[in-house]
């Protein structure tokens, strides 16, 4: 469904197209075409070998056939007689685009950009929903450059009169897109044929036997290549149909569990998930919707760029890029700064506009946490896990480079990318720091707002990294939530409840699991009665769960928002917004310090750094994990009754990681990190007020 999806605005709920998957896999040839197309789009294929024929079903969602779908869905294109008249009133735009703002020195120079661009543009292995890989941005024909004349360039594009302007822009681009799709289709057919030949060779069918001009032969070969896919899809569709109307359609000899088990087995084979993850994700939705979710994970999301309003206006950026042969349109009415890219003749990470910091490549759903946080001018804001800086730089733009953003990340390597983006985008109100965020608010507190865009399993961005399908274990869904809970408490404790303008915390992940989202939020509500959930202010998104399997969450969890690829055509995401109403109690701070001491950050390929739970009893992590499960109870709890001996040991390890010999500095270093006994008054000072002697900034 790639092309039709790509024409949808992101964020606007779209009707589900359930049987779409069934349409997708009519033949081996279309499957091959789909695989090829996804490779072009830079999608990482899932692990091979999950299917009986040795092919990877995971990334072959039959996009080829959707070319036809796209055409039939579109109204016949009529070339616009008049050039688009665009009108814009950009709230977020900084009106003064002075020479200073565009000063080359702010751009950070080619070296820096070159060094950093990799993180932002060429993607990184880590999980970061912002770091799209546009190096493979498809290049197309020349004939789709639309309206490069001055009338369009000097038009004004109004957000408030959005529909006209958006339609005009869309129409202006659609001709090029249509032509390009035709060309792509022809190319894909050629590719598909080529791949069919290769696949046949791999499956030991003699190349000489292949006569692809012969229809009968062709059909025979195809059925030899992909019979299992067709069978699996049919079985999945049928089981889902029964599960959706179980009373009426069930075979009386089979229970719901029988059907579910069977369909999960087929889902694992068809899409390439581990049984564990397939079940976890399947259980989030009704059966039919789960299928849509799995299907949508096979389709790359549209490329999106965020206009840097510190440097330019969206309309100007759009026109510059259109003139370079980029086909684009506004991402949707919900954002004033996003542009959705359909096609580009130039690598989007190397345009002059990119190098001058006029935009950043950023997934649409990554806008949402910052929009929910809504940082205000002149505030003091903390971004706890900031690299590579998509959200930090968005915050700085909303704050119009006033106030101060502390952009922290535990990974030094990723912090380099963060610094690069800050320079390239002309951000001047930000200080970068490199702590484990668990150390806040000890490092610094008293913030008006804090964003915790937490390290997570990435189950919302499987379309970008199919390895998640197989590389997540049950242990990950204990360790990550453990870290997320501790980070969230640290975020809460770092906020000034008495802030005149703020007092807010936003928690977000690019994961859709309940363990990493509602359970973490519920944990924070349990541990910090001085916060409450408030509306995110986001205009779309599904309500968070207040009930999931045997778990029950506080009714205010309805204020949180879930984002799904199949529902909104954006990466899977979760956003919760808290308001802090009072200082954190002294005993809670003490407990937090003790608990945090038992979580250390270790580098991983997933989000850069993640938690390693320290043994709380006998140095055995499994025991520790088990005990957490017991303590978790309904909401996922945490026991602060820690053994000081182990806390101290953990603190020493922290000191060692900082390159200090704990023996040499024993008393001082350990004392400086160890939780202090404080009175209630002192505690609130410590948690809610900034420390004057902040360490290691910049
Ligand atoms: C989802 S990414 C953040 C993406 C970022 N907010 C953005 O918009 O570009 C999660 C980040 O958390 C960082 N991280 C992991 N554990 C951390 C910790 N204990 N303290 C601070 N940062 C941590 C990782 O290095 C990673 O960069």
Give 195 Cα–ligand 1 centroid separation in angstroms. 40
Known binding residues: 385-391, 409, 453
Q: By the 8 A CB rule, do 691 and 445 touch? A: yes
Classified as helix, coil or strand, 454 is coil
Compute the C-alpha angle 59/55/513, nearest 5°.
Answer: 40
> 310 pLDDT exceeds 90?
yes
Q: Is 506 in the pocket of ligand 1 (CB under 6 A)?
A: no
Burial pattern 150-159, b for ≥16 Cβ within 10 A else e, equals eebbebebbb
| Band of residue 255 on the pLDDT scale cut at 50, 70, 90 | very high
Closest residue to atom 10 of ligand 1, CA basis = 455
Tell me the pLDDT tens digit for each residue of 233-244: 999 999 999 999
Tell me the pLDDT tens digit for each residue of 25-53: 333 333 333 334 443 433 333 333 333 33
Q: Is 608 in the pocket of ligand 1 (CB under 6 A)?
A: yes
Tell me the pLDDT tens digit for each residue of 202-245: 433 333 343 445 566 766 665 555 558 889 999 999 999 999 99
| Band of residue 519 on the pLDDT scale cut at 50, 70, 90 | very high
What per-residue confidence (pLDDT) applies to 293? 98
| Band of residue 303 on the pLDDT scale cut at 50, 70, 90 | very high
Task: Cite the beta strand spans of 338-409 per DSSP E.
Answer: 338-343, 359-361, 380-383, 404-408
Using CA atoms, how far apart are residues 166 and 159, in angstroms rounded to an integer?
A: 9
Q: CA nearest 684: which of 547, 546, 588, 613?
A: 588
> 374 pLDDT exceeds 80?
yes
Closest atom, ligand 1, to C-alpha of 418: 9
- The values of phi and psi at residue 537, to 5°, are 80, 5
Over range 64-91, report the average pLDDT: 35
Q: Is 414 in the pocket of ligand 1 (CB under 6 A)?
A: yes
Lowest mean pLDDT among 38-42, 291-295, 335-339: 38-42
Q: Is 654 in the pocket of ligand 1 (CB under 6 A)?
A: no
Q: CA nearest 575: which of 89, 11, 60, 26?
A: 11
Contacts of 103 (CB under 8 A, 6+ apart): none
Q: How high does pLDDT run on average in the chain?
A: 71
Using CA atoms, how far apart are residues 88 and 332, in angstroms rounded to an integer?
A: 14
What per-residue confidence (pLDDT) applies to 190? 73
Give 619 Cα–ligand 1 centroid separation in angstroms. 27
Q: By the 8 A CB rule, do 570 and 293 touch? A: no
At the fourth CATH level, which superfamily is domain 302-362?
Sun protein; domain 3 (3.30.70.1170)
What per-residue confidence (pLDDT) applies to 367? 98
Contacts of 661 (CB under 8 A, 6+ apart): none
> 311 pLDDT exceeds 70?
yes
Helix, strand, coil percent content, the chain, rounded in steps of 5: 45, 10, 45
Tell me the pLDDT tens digit for each residue of 385-428: 999 999 999 999 999 999 999 999 999 999 999 999 999 999 99
Closest residue to atom 5 of ligand 1, CA basis = 386
Exactly one of 268, 433, 456, 510 is catalytic; which is it? 510
> How are beta strands 504-509 and 449-453 bridged, if at all?
parallel
Q: Is 675 in the pocket of ligand 1 (CB under 6 A)?
A: no
40 vs 666, residue with greater confidence:
666
587 vs 605, residue with greater confidence:
587
Using CA atoms, how far apart are residues 629 and 512, in angstroms rounded to an integer?
A: 20
Give 128 Cα–ligand 1 centroid separation in angstroms. 8
Determine which helix (DSSP H) or strand (DSSP E) holds 330, and give its type and residue range. Answer: strand 327-330
Is 268 known to be catalytic?
Answer: no
DSSP letter assigned to residue 591: H
| Band of residue 176 on the pLDDT scale cut at 50, 70, 90 | low
What per-residue confidence (pLDDT) applies to 212? 43
What per-residue confidence (pLDDT) applies to 171? 54
Tell me the pLDDT tens digit for each residue of 419-463: 999 999 999 999 999 999 999 999 999 999 999 999 999 999 999
Q: By the 8 A CB rule, do 172 and 149 touch? A: no
Using CA atoms, how far apart are residues 63 and 58, in angstroms rounded to an integer?
A: 12
Over range 618-642, report the average pLDDT: 36
Kindly report the length of the chain: 698
What per-residue confidence (pLDDT) applies to 578? 98
Closest atom, ligand 1, to C-alpha of 601: 19
Q: Is 366 in the pocket of ligand 1 (CB under 6 A)?
A: yes
Q: What are the residue boundaries of the structural domains of the chain, listed by start? A: 226-298, 302-362, 364-585
Compute the C-alpha angle 290/548/289, nearest 5°.
Answer: 15
What are the CA-CA distances from residue 196 to residues 54, 199, 200, 224, 435 (Å)? 14, 5, 6, 11, 51
| Band of residue 11 on the pLDDT scale cut at 50, 70, 90 | low
Give 386 Cα–ligand 1 centroid separation in angstroms. 5
Evaluate the CA torsion angle 8, 10, 13, 15 in order and state its sign.
positive
Pocket test for ligand 1, best of 370, 410, 457, 611 (most atoms within 8 A of CB): 410
Tell me the pLDDT tens digit for each residue of 103-154: 333 333 333 233 323 323 323 333 344 433 333 333 333 333 223 233 333 3
429 vs 694, residue with greater confidence:
429
What per-residue confidence (pLDDT) applies to 448? 98
Which CATH architecture does the domain made up of 364-585 adopt?
Answer: 3-Layer(aba) Sandwich (3.40)
With a threshold of 0.95, tell me whether the complex ipTM lies above it: yes
What per-residue confidence (pLDDT) applies to 378? 98
Closest atom, ligand 1, to C-alpha of 388: 9
What per-residue confidence (pLDDT) applies to 218? 67
Q: pTM for this structure?
A: 0.65
Closest atom, ligand 1, to C-alpha of 510: 1
Closest residue to atom 17 of ligand 1, CA basis = 410
Q: Is 386 in the pocket of ligand 1 (CB under 6 A)?
A: yes
> 561 pLDDT exceeds 80?
yes
Q: Of 81-85, 262-266, 583-587, which has the strongest mean pLDDT?
A: 262-266
Neighbours of 111 (CB within 10 A): 9
Secondary structure of 493-548 in HEC code, one letter for each residue: HCECCCCCCCCEEEEEECCCCCCCCHHHHHHHHHHCCCEEEECCCCCCCEECCCEE
Percentage of the chain exceeding pLDDT 90: 49
Neighbours of 180 (CB within 10 A): 20
Q: Is 338 in the pocket of ligand 1 (CB under 6 A)?
A: no
Lowest mean pLDDT among 8-17, 70-79, 636-645: 70-79
Known binding residues for S-adenosyl-L-methionine: 385-391, 409, 453
- The values of phi and psi at residue 561, to 5°, are -130, 135
Give 408 Cα–ligand 1 centroid separation in angstroms. 8
Pocket test for ligand 1, best of 131, 387, 421, 657 (most atoms within 8 A of CB): 387
Q: Is 387 in the pocket of ligand 1 (CB under 6 A)?
A: yes
Classified as helix, coil or strand, 583 is coil
Using CA atoms, how far apart are residues 536 and 132, in angstroms rounded to an integer?
A: 26
């Amino acid at each position: 469904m790639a092309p039709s999806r790509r024409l949808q605005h992101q964020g606007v709920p779209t009707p589900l197209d359930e049987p779409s998957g069934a349409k997708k896999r009519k033949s081996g040839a279309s499957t091959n075409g789909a695989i090829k197309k996804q490779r072009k789009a830079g999608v990482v294929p899932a692990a091979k070998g999950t299917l009986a024929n040795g092919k990877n079903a995971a990334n072959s969602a039959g996009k080829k056939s959707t070319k036809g779908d796209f055409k039939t869905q579109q109204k016949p294109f009529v070339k616009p007689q008049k050039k688009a008249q665009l009108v814009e009133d950009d709230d977020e735009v900084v009106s003064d685009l002075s020479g200073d703002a565009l000063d080359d020195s702010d751009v950070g120079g080619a070296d820096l950009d070159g060094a950093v661009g990799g993180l932002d543009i060429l993607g990184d292995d880590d999980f970061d929903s912002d770091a799209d890989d546009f190096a493979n941005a498809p290049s197309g024909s020349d004939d789709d450059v639309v309206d490069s004349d001055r009338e369009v360039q000097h038009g004004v594009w109004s957000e408030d009169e959005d529909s006209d302007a958006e339609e005009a822009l869309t129409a202006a681009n659609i001709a090029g897109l249509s032509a390009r799709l035709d060309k792509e289709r022809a190319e894909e057919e050629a590719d598909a044929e080529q791949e069919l030949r290769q696949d046949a060779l791999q499956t030991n069918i003699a190349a000489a036997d292949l006569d692809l001009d012969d229809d009968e032969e062709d059909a025979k070969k195809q059925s030899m290549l992909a019979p299992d896919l067709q069978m699996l899809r049919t079985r999945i569709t049928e089981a889902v149909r029964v599960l959706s109307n179980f009373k009426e359609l069930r075979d009386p000899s089979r229970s719901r569990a029988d059907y579910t088990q069977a369909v999960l087995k087929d889902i694992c084979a068809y899409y390439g998930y581990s049984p564990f993850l397939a079940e976890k994700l399947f259980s989030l939705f009704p059966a039919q919707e789960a299928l849509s979710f799995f299907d949508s994970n096979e389709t790359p999301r549209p490329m999106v760029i965020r206009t840097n309003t510190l440097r330019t206006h969206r309309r100007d950026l759009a026109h510059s890029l259109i003139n370079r042969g980029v086909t684009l349109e506004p991402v949707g009415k919900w954002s004033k700064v996003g542009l959705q890219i359909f096609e580009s003749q130039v690598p989007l990470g190397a345009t002059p506009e990119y190098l001058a910091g006029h935009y950043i490549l950023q997934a649409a759903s990554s806008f949402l946490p910052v929009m929910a946080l809504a940082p205000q001018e002149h505030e003091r804001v903390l971004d706890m896990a900031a690299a590579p800086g998509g959200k930090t730089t968005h915050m700085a733009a909303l704050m119009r480079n006033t106030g101060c953003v502390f952009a922290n990340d535990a990974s030094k390597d990723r912090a380099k990318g963060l610094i690069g983006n800050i320079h390239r985008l002309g951000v001047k109100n930000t200080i970068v720091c490199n702590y484990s965020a668990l150390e806040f608010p000890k490092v610094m507190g008293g913030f008006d707002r804090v964003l915790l865009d937490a390290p997570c399993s990435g189950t919302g961005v499987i379309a970008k990294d199919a390895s998640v399908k197989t590389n997540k274990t049950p242990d990950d869904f204990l360790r990550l939530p453990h870290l997320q809970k501790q980070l969230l408490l640290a975020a809460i404790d770092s906020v000034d409840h008495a802030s005149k303008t703020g007092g807010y915390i936003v928690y977000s992940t690019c994961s859709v699991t309940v363990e990493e989202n509602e359970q973490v939020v519920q944990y924070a509500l349990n541990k910090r009665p001085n916060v409450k959930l408030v509306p995110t202010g986001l205009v779309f998104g599904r309500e968070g769960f207040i009930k999931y399997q045997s778990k029950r969450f506080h009714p205010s969890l309805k204020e949180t928002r879930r984002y799904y690829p199949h529902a909104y055509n954006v990466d899977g995401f979760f956003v919760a917004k808290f308001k802090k109403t009072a200082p954190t109690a002294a005993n809670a701070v003490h407990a937090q310090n003790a608990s945090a001491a038992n979580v250390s950050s270790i580098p991983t390929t997933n989000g850069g750094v993640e938690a390693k739970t320290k043994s709380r009893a006998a140095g055995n992590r499994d025991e520790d994990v088990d005990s957490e499960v017991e303590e978790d109870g309904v909401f996922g709890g945490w026991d602060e009754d820690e053994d000081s001996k182990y806390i101290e040991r953990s603190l020493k390890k922290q000191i060692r990681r900082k390159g200090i010999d704990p023996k040499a500095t024993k008393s001082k270093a350990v004392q400086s990190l160890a939780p202090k006994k404080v009175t209630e008054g002192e505690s609130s000072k410590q948690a809610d007020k900034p420390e004057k002697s902040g360490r290691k900034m910049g």
